[in-house]
Structure 1
Amino acid sequence: MNIPEALAGYERHEFEDTRWIRPVYRKGQGPAVIIIHEMPNLHPLVVRFADRVAAAGMTVYLPSLFGEDGRTPTKAYAMGQILQGICIRREFNVWANGRSSPIVDWLRALARHAHAECGGKGVGALGMCFTGGFALAMMTEPSVVAPVLSQPSLPFGKKGRAMVDASPAEIACAKQRLEAEDLTLMGLRFKGDAFVPEERFETLKQTFGDRFEAIELEPEDARPGTGMAPHSVLTIHLADEPGSATRMAEERVIAFFKQRVGA
């Protein structure tokens, strides 16, 4: 089984549950953290973040949901993924209809599996961009104790600006668990990001109160020279110099995982 160069050092296996089977890459030791990649694929900068989580004493699980694993993306490649039907595939729900994506069922099963394999207090889960809200919906799985929403971009469209891609029942479950189990939820975004409206973060703040830790960065905090408006907090637009605002945000996320999963 071939491993892409960008994922050297990871073990690859196929995980099957519910309706789907997907590749999952695993690395590290200690309690589990599931990192769900952004659009358009599981690219090298997602792996860089995963490497740092593994180095902090946790087992990283990288599920591959779309795109070519390990490929360095371009704007043309990202557009191609969208045009190939990512927005109409049955695994994903991208519009404002009060539902989460069906693939979240598979991710919940992966969390149960990862917790059984790795132990600890529970499992961390982080989604990015297209998958950003998945970590919130995953909280109906009791093993998920450290959810992080990085630049959650769904649902699309004006109707969904103040919404998150989770059902009312999933949101209510998350709210109940956060209080009952003394947990917190994290969210990250760049201010002014058209894909992550301010209204969406206001909804999260109003819904979860002080159980929601919001990290909202200034556009000038982003790594320059990408040719893109600041969006990908932990990957493409992370300014990697020690002490930068984005690097400190990354360090805060990793510390959050360590504390919650018991690394």
Structure 2
Amino acid sequence: MQTRELDMYDPLEDFEPRKITLEGTTKMVHVSGIGPAVIVIPEVPGISPHVARFARWVREAGFTVYMPSLYGRDGEPVDLEIGQAIFKRVCLSAEFRAFGAGGSAPVTKWLRALARLAHDECGGPGVGAIGMCFSGNFALSMMLEPSMLAPVLSQPALPLDDDAGLQISSNELKAVRERLDKEDLTVQAYRFEGDRFCKAERFTAYRDALGHRFVSHVLPDSAANPDVPEFFEKVVQTPHNVVTVHLIDEEGQPTRRARDEILEFFALRLQPHLPFC
């Protein structure tokens, strides 16, 4: 995969930009690759070069990536002032429901429809998805869509006002748990130990609700990349972004192992006939 500067604009020229209308709403989705579909849902402040790098790793592992544009300017490196403005805007948006536990974000209905479309277009056993930070819990709510088989929750940060809160209703959570048990599926989840947006209380709440179907991975803060954009240094402040800005792309690093585990999980669920390598 071509090495790119992560602090420079990424034109995403190796993705096909598609305007996709679902549930009466049109969004831009960047699509690339061959194989079963994986939906890479960006973190705030948007499809940064770091998010695009992860999407390319997924593509190179043998999947078709669908990367929806939900906020920010696609390909833009993370800027402090712009990042703060986007963060404030999405916090107030009803589409993302940043505050208050007990209900899925409305945007997840659109994402479930995207999963159906991606499965129809790509085939295979089903679809995978990873949410990060603001979108971290979206992949769990997407399990209400039968084509979704491989959900990954990376540092799920919502709701912002309840450390142990879950952004999903009790009825939806019950339906997800029943499906996980019936189909022998699991939810993979990642966080840093000292993350102030995704604390231990949230993972405990997920485990209480989903039992052994919730597989958590907690990385030590020492594993995080200290060289991060100013937005993450001044706004996020703690290790948080497991597979993007806080990932250290070096052999033996815990964050790279986390990335490889996620790719292997997608392969296990979506490419069961192929050996993972």
C-alpha contact (below 8 Å) 1:240/1:247 kept by paired residues: yes
C-alpha contact (below 8 Å) 1:6/1:47 kept by paired residues: no
Instruction: Determine the structure 1 residue equivalent to 2:155.
Output: 151
1:188 counterpart SS class: strand
Instruction: Determine the structure 1 residue equivalent to 2:107.
Output: 103
Q: What is the TM-score when the length of structure 2 is the normalising length?
A: 0.90
Instruction: Determine the structure 1 residue equivalent to 2:5.
Output: none
The percent identity for this pair of structures is 44
Quick one: which amino acid aligns to residue 137 of structure 2?
A: G
> Whole-Å Cα distance in 2 between the matches of residues 10 and 211 of structure 1?
34
Structure 1: gaps spanning 5 or more residues: none
1:51 counterpart SS class: helix
Residue 75 of structure 1: how far off its partner (Å): 2.4
Instruction: Determine the structure 1 residue equivalent to 2:93.
Output: 89
> Whole-Å Cα distance in 1 between the matches of residues 99 and 168 of structure 2?
11
Instruction: Determine the structure 2 residue equivalent to 1:208.
Output: 210
> Whole-Å Cα distance in 1 between the matches of residues 146 and 118 of structure 2?
12
State how many pairs are aligned: 257
Residue 12 of structure 2, aligned match among 7, 10, 16: 7
Residue 223 of structure 2, aligned match among 211, 221, 229: 221
> Whole-Å Cα distance in 1 between the matches of residues 100 and 153 of structure 2?
18
> Whole-Å Cα distance in 2 between the matches of residues 82 and 236 of structure 1?
17
Quick one: which amino acid aligns to residue 110 of structure 2?
A: W
Written as runs of structure 1 = structure 2, the 5 A alignment for 1:168-247 is 168-226=170-228, 227=233, 228-247=237-256
C-alpha contact (below 8 Å) 1:49/1:234 kept by paired residues: yes
> Whole-Å Cα distance in 2 between the matches of residues 219 and 113 of structure 1?
38
2:137 is the counterpart of 1:133: yes
> Whole-Å Cα distance in 2 between the matches of residues 126 and 76 of structure 1?
27
Residue 123 of structure 1: how far off its partner (Å): 0.3
Structure 2: gaps spanning 5 or more residues: 1-8
C-alpha contact (below 8 Å) 1:24/1:62 kept by paired residues: yes
> Whole-Å Cα distance in 1 between the matches of residues 24 and 104 of structure 2?
16
* Runs ≥4 residues deviating over 4 A: none
Quick one: which amino acid aligns to residue 64 of structure 2?
A: T
C-alpha contact (below 8 Å) 1:139/1:170 kept by paired residues: no
Residue 181 of structure 1: how far off its partner (Å): 0.4
Instruction: Determine the structure 2 residue equivalent to 1:34.
Output: 39
Instruction: Determine the structure 1 residue equivalent to 2:52.
Output: 47
> Whole-Å Cα distance in 2 between the matches of residues 19 and 173 of structure 1?
25
Instruction: Determine the structure 2 residue equivalent to 1:166.
Output: 168
> Whole-Å Cα distance in 2 between the matches of residues 204 and 110 of structure 1?
25
1:7 counterpart SS class: coil
Q: What is the TM-score when the length of structure 1 is the normalising length?
A: 0.95
> Whole-Å Cα distance in 1 between the matches of residues 266 and 241 of structure 2?
19
2:21 is the counterpart of 1:16: yes
Instruction: Determine the structure 2 residue equivalent to 1:68.
Output: 73
2:268 is the counterpart of 1:259: yes
Residue 90 of structure 1: how far off its partner (Å): 2.6
What does the per-residue CA deviation read over 1:155-203, in whole Å, with 9 as the maximum and x for residues that have no partner?
A: 011xx21121111122111101111001110100001111001100001
C-alpha contact (below 8 Å) 1:6/1:44 kept by paired residues: no
What does the per-residue CA deviation read over 1:17-43, in whole Å, with 9 as the maximum and x for residues that have no partner?
A: 114210000111010000100000111
2:184 counterpart SS class: coil
What does the per-residue CA deviation read over 1:59-112, in whole Å, with 9 as the maximum and x for residues that have no partner?
A: 0000000100000012222111133x2122231111124111111110000000
What does the per-residue CA deviation read over 1:2-61, in whole Å, with 9 as the maximum and x for residues that have no partner?
A: xx7441210110111114210000111010000100000111111111111111111000
C-alpha contact (below 8 Å) 2:102/2:169 kept by paired residues: yes
